[in-house]
Amino acid sequence: MNDAYIAVEGDRIIEARARSQGTTRGELVFTTAYTGYEESLTDPSYEEQLLTFSYPLIGNYGVRKERFESDRVHPRGVLAREMTEDVAQWLQSQDVPAVDHLDTRDIVTEIRDEGAMKAGIAAGPDATEADALAELDECSHMSSHTDIGAQVSVDEPTIHNPDGDGTRVALLDCGAKGSIIDSLVARDATVHSLPYDASVSDVESTEPDVLFVSNGPGDPENFEQAGEVVSALVGDVPLAGICLGQQVVANALGGRTEKMEFGHRGVNQPVRDLRSDQVIMTTQNHGYTVADPGDKLNVTQVNVNDETPEGLDNDSLNIITRQYHPEANPGPNDSLSFFDDVVAMAEK
């Protein structure tokens, strides 16, 4: 029985089965990941988006909190070909509308051909097509969410591993995944997690060995304060960044970012290192990319599929960034050495 409707740009209606009731709206995107649905659903980078899983069965190994990347589900809605009861109940508890019993192949193909689209969902016994269309009418483009950082960042400074004897990291939390902090703490770093709009003096008060700009959702141009911190401290404090962090660093140093057609979201994105010519497999989740790194950053890694920059650095200014997620859970782990490189840069 179909009791859910998805309205996408062009007012096309897709029927489905409701697994978690409610109405919602957001940018419709897809991930090709075939494992890691718990990690994807708790990734803050999916804020204000509707996440479609291309893998046909979601939930076949249950739901465990120790796999979560944050304390809540971030996509505004979830679409799957088939969703288990475990996942459906979890999303119900989080008040996140979810649907299944629809042709996700068709949705993925349309996003691939047309780009990420605005969409609205209405799910439940009283849902109507008009409800879904009303959500679509109210949906905004990602660049319009100018203060999206406030939805995903820490409210107050938080210290992780305060007794560590290693690197002191000032982490601008623009929506940081828990695994980034875990990866730094595993190297005995003390991580000062700061709000996304922290001031230069807030960062300096932590006496950092390295400034680290995290991943996060939305348009990097909307993270103006983070960019100002980078601009003020470049050359004085080593800089590192992941995903949105790479984009923020690039914009702050004279580069330019742009929105991609449908982004990179999955666990099998091939990246080539231009120095070693080695190809590694990476996990990615981003809809924006660095279009022009400017004259202060060197492109060190590129995506094999579309040649977009995957790694930037500047040895003299002590900068190293990655567009993908080296801390990927559940994997692959090809690029975990990035955190060793960050620590080594800070120690140098």
Of 174, 243, 264, 310, catalytic: 243
Cα 128 from Cα 96, distance rounded (Å): 18
Q: Which residues contact 11 (CB under 8 A, 6 or more apart)?
A: 133, 136
Strand 210-213 with 309-314, pairing:
unpaired
The question of whether 174 is a catalytic residue gets the answer: no
**Which residues, other chains included, contact 329 with Cβ-Cβ below 8 Å and sequence gap of 6+?**
36, 39, 67, 69, 179
CA angle, 331 as apex, 221 and 280 as ends, to 5°?
Answer: 75
DSSP per-residue letters across 25-52: EEEEEEE--SS-HHHHHT-GGGTTEEEE
Distance CA 226, CA 197 (A): 6
Q: Is 327 a catalytic residue?
A: yes
CA-based nearest residue to 184, from 42, 326, 37? 326
Q: Which of 145, 192, 264, 325 is catalytic?
A: 325
Ramachandran class of 134: left when φ > 0, alpha when ψ lies in -120 to 50, beta otherwise: alpha
Going from the C-alpha of 329 to that of each of 9, 71, 189, 311, the distances in angstroms are 33, 16, 20, 20
6 Cβ partners below 8 Å, 6+ apart? 13, 14, 16, 79, 99, 102, 119, 120, 121, 132
264 assigned to active site: no
Distance CA 225, CA 146 (A): 12
Contact 230, 212 (CB under 8 A): no
* Nearest alpha carbon to residue 54 among 268, 307, 219, 260: 268
Element (H, E) at 145: none
- Catalytic residue numbers read 243, 325, 327
